[in-house]
Amino acid sequence: MKYTALKNTLYIENRKKVAQLMLPNALAVFNSNDIMPTNADGTLPFRQNNDLLYVSGVDQEESIVLLFPNAINPKHREILFVKETSELIAIWEGAKLSKEQATKQSGIETVYWTSQFEAIFHALTTEANTIYLYQNEHLRAVNTVETCNDRFRKMCQKKYPLHNYERLAPLMSTVRATKHPLEIEAIQHACNITEKGLRRILNFVKPGVMEYEIEAEFIHEFIKNQSNGFAYQPIIASGYNACVLHYIENNAQCKAGDIILMDVGAEYANYASDMTRCIPVSGKFTPRQKEVYNAVLRVMKAATAMLVPGTKHDEYHTEVGNIMESELIGLGLIDKHDVAKQDKNNPLYKKYFMHGTSHHMGLDVHDVENRNRLFEAGMVLTVEPGIYIREENLGIRLENDVLITNEKPFDLMKNIPLEADEIEALMN
């Protein structure tokens, strides 16, 4: 890993949070993600399972964590299994974590080799009444590939059919929603790296540059600053491409007079950042472009002010829609008389602003969440309103990452240029 490991106090406290939510005499199992194949002998870069990372900090394949707060043997209340290094592995891949290193990283005192897991797990099942197993339950998840957790779940339920089984995902959604100060530091660091990338871009863009060249400048700056790279597939969309919400081809030429929408974020220590900025290819906004830009910016600022404890997600989104509706009337894109007669279930503003305003963020860019849970201090959400006018080849979206506190919202991207005048000044 390129990043500096976070303090293990984070993972010690995280395990305590999970244990407090578990039923009596229950055992929870956390498996690593697989190393995914491509073709021939190729593989994708390894990306750790975020729930396992959350409770251990171990960023290595073939790792397993067991939590069993009521285990008879105190040494078995927290167990970490890691892959044993061999001379062959050390030569070809580099040495894996030793048991001492695994303890230092995770704070878990009891460490075994992964090859010992089956026997130890079997012994612990004779003590446990309930087993918590993981399945990806994110609302946007498309579960077409069988994962290590999927295979383990099938095996476990077949081999131990008389145990009670509980879902691990709801517990993790609960504990991961509010961030530990060390997590906030990691997200802030990712945001700071993203800022460096944007400032590099503002001195690079000119008419004729290719979208993929801009992408290359970002990744250069990110890796230079200890990031593993992009937190998600970047969007570098100029002209009409900015009206395609998930445009990722990034292969068009940026033309004079166009706006470039850049939805880009660095990750750090597996924690995400998520930023969107729109800049003029020629270094200066046209009056119409600035008019639309400032309308989006006003919506963004109003939405940010609503990120306070006690707010309900659905009510927040509805109110942002009302603000956007007013801005679109002011831009001449919708008519107030038509708005008065609109279908409330399909408001007119959605023609130009068709996506949500905010999502939770953390180890996942679209972090695990419960939409029925009121906003709380410690949650980190994006704020990302946009206006997309296809007939004008103009798409404007602005996005920052915001920490909810007991006082006022704290913008983790407050140092990243945002005002249209500031962007023009930096580009010129």
Q: What is the pLDDT of residues 229-256, one digit of tens each?
A: 999 999 999 999 999 999 999 999 999 9
Instruction: List the CATH number of the domain containing 34.
Output: 3.40.350.10
CA distance 347 to 170: 33
Are 246 and 121 contained in the same domain? no
Are 94 and 216 contained in the same domain? no
Per-residue pLDDT at 94 exceeds 90:
no
- How many CB atoms within 10 Å of residue 133? 21
Terminal C-alpha separation, the chain: 37
Are 165 and 187 contained in the same domain? no
pLDDT at 332: 97
Q: What angle do CA 58, 63, 64 make, to 5 degrees?
A: 105
Beta carbons of 422 and 414 less than 8 angstroms apart: no
Task: For residue 87, name the pLDDT band (cuts at 50, 70, 90).
Answer: confident
Q: Which of 176, 198, 229 is where one domain is finished?
A: 176
Task: For residue 142, name the pLDDT band (cuts at 50, 70, 90).
Answer: confident
CA distance 400 to 227: 19
Whether residue 1 lies inside any domain: the answer is no
Q: How many domains does the chain have?
A: 2
Q: What are 12's two structure tokens?
A: 């010690």
Which residues span the domain enclosing 103?
Answer: 9-176
Are 169 and 199 contained in the same domain? no
From the list 230, 266, 270, the residue with the least C-alpha distance to 248 is 230
Are 42 and 99 contained in the same domain? yes
Q: Which of 155, 176, 197 is where one domain is finished?
A: 176
H helix or E strand, kind and range, residue 112: strand 110-113
Region of poorest pLDDT, from 83-87, 130-134, 255-259, 387-391: 83-87
Q: What are 79's two structure tokens?
A: 């167990």
Backbone φ/ψ region at 283: left (φ over 0), alpha (ψ -120 to 50), beta = left
Are 90 and 202 contained in the same domain? no
Are 169 and 202 contained in the same domain? no
Are 236 and 99 contained in the same domain? no
Whether residue 2 lies inside any domain: the answer is no
Are 286 and 401 contained in the same domain? yes
Q: How far is CA 179 from the centre of its chain?
A: 13
Are 165 and 223 contained in the same domain? no
Whether residue 331 lies inside any domain: the answer is yes
Kindly report, residue by residue over 291-314, the tens digit of the pLDDT. 999 999 999 999 999 999 999 999
Are 186 and 199 contained in the same domain? yes
Instruction: List the CATH number of the domain containing 334.
Output: 3.90.230.10
Whether residue 3 lies inside any domain: the answer is no
Beta carbons of 28 and 22 less than 8 angstroms apart: yes
Average pLDDT over residues 344-348: 90
Q: Which of 129, 159, 176 is where one domain is finished?
A: 176
CA distance 297 to 385: 8
DSSP string, 358-379: --B-SSSSS----TTSPP-TT-
Per-residue pLDDT at 180 exceeds 90:
yes
Are 223 and 248 contained in the same domain? yes
